[in-house]
Amino acid sequence: MYDFLIVGCGFAGSVLAERLASAGKKILIVDKRDHIAGNAYDYYNEDGILVHKYGPHIFHTNSEEVFKYLSRFTDWRPYEHRVLGSADGQLVPIPINLTTINKLYGKNLTSDEVKDFLASKAEVRNPVLTSEDVVLNTVGKELYEKFFRGYTKKQWDLDPSELDASVTSRVPTRTNTDDRYFTDTFQAMPKHGYTEMFRKMLSHKNISIMLNTDYRDIIEIIPHQNLIYTGPIDSYFDFCFGKLPYRSINFKFETLNQEVYQCTGTINYPTSNLYTRITEFKYLTGQAHQKTTIVYEYPTAEGDPYYPIPRRENQEIYNLYKKLADQTPNVYFTGRLGTYKYYNMDQVVAQSLTLFKKITMQAMSDVQ
């Protein structure tokens, strides 16, 4: 008899497996894929280059708790991601910053001057409700067209006006020369890769792992007291309120017989090509190798569910599932797919640590 059957070996499921196992619970964690680590899975390709199977994953967080927790399972390599965007035949920093404006417009503005420049371009939106509002409100139409409209259409197959403000709000606008993609306090990559970190997290005597297994095939035959589910919530309930839409991506990997391909980790192509961005893994991993591997991301509607799509009508469907989930005893839903939230890795870790505390408190109050 297992105390917990956990569906999904990604961050959401693995953090809970580790926490509960360390608290003395017996865990069976299953994944339908043939590997652990969920979408953070990385591996050495046939040329010996460490790549991320499900697209570039860069770790960043402001949470000391999350960073300290993961540090039990890995050492880190400091890494600050930098992105350039292709516009008007040039490569310029993304997020838009002082350098972006000066390069694009052939100017030599100071920080204060660029604030005035952007204010003169901005189209005030009040309230700011959509992803279009966010960008027009800060940088105006021209920069919106250059960097956001086409990229967003490719990524989501929606106009920014059809997406919640939270989507483009992920990308700030800066008036200084800081060209890092993220400004979080902790920015680092697991020194030996994500999969290795997960391996350490899951190597506990109380944890059994079953790969290549859809939980539906074993749920009736493996006795367990509780279920933790990190797959798509609509699928768990047999789509009884309809399908929740997700965005998927086709990843096209290329290994080149040269040491370096591009001048930074990621280059975004907002208005040209069918792919959104190209990432060169060696920047992320720090690996030295005579060859290099890059990945192109082609967004698509079909395929593995990678991105929940933040917009009101989808949230309304999710709310129906959430209500049902809350009424389902001994089953907990968490993670990016289990709670239909556009979460980064650190947010998923934080969510699972919180759920662990909730489960522990519940168990204590049941005993009393």
Give the interface with ligand UDP as residue ranges (CB under 6 A).
85, 94, 147-148, 151-152, 155, 167-168, 170-171, 268, 270
Nearest to 189 by CA among 45, 347, 51: 51
**Which residue lies nearer to ligand FAD by CB, 30 or 201?**
30
User: Binding to ligand FAD by residue 50, rule CB under 6 A?
Assistant: no
User: Binding to ligand FAD by residue 202, rule CB under 6 A?
Assistant: no
Rounded Cα distance, 9 and 32, in Å: 9
User: Binding to ligand FAD by residue 11, rule CB under 6 A?
Assistant: yes
> Exactly one of 231, 245, 265, 270 binds ligand FAD (CB under 6 A); which one?
231
**Which residue lies nearer to ligand UDP by CB, 259 or 304?**
304
Residue 94 and residue 84 in contact, taking contact as beta carbons nearer than 8 Å: yes
> Exactly one of 50, 118, 244, 337 binds ligand FAD (CB under 6 A); which one?
337
Q: C-beta of 83: minimal distance to ligand UDP in Å? A: 7
Residue 266 and residue 57 in contact, taking contact as beta carbons nearer than 8 Å: no
> Exactly one of 2, 6, 10, 276 binds ligand FAD (CB under 6 A); which one?
10
> Exactly one of 249, 278, 294, 325 binds ligand FAD (CB under 6 A); which one?
249
Whole-angstrom CA distances from 111 to 92, 94, 134, 147, 176 are: 17, 16, 21, 21, 6
Characterize the bridge pairing of strands 60-61 and 331-333. unpaired
Q: C-beta of 120: minimal distance to ligand FAD in Å? A: 34
> Exactly one of 18, 31, 42, 133 binds ligand FAD (CB under 6 A); which one?
31
> Which of ligand FAD, ligand UDP, none lies near 249, with the C-beta cut-off 5 to 8 A by kind?
ligand FAD
**Which residue lies nearer to ligand UDP by CB, 168 or 351?**
168
Query: What is the sign, positive or negative, of the torsion defined by CA atoms of 44, 45, 48, 49?
Result: negative
Give 211-225 as a DSSP string.
-S--GGGTTTTS-EE
69, amino acid identity:
Y
Q: Does an H or E element contain 115, and which?
A: helix 111-121
Q: What is the DSSP letter of 146?
A: I
> Exactly one of 3, 26, 33, 196 binds ligand FAD (CB under 6 A); which one?
33
Characterize the bridge pairing of strands 90-94 and 83-87. antiparallel
**Which residue lies nearer to ligand UDP by CB, 2 or 147?**
147
**Which residue lies nearer to ligand FAD by CB, 102 or 276?**
276
User: Binding to ligand FAD by residue 343, rule CB under 6 A?
Assistant: yes
Query: No. of H helices and E strands in the chain?
Result: 13, 17
- Scan residues 267-306 and list those touching ligand FAD (CB under 6 A): 306
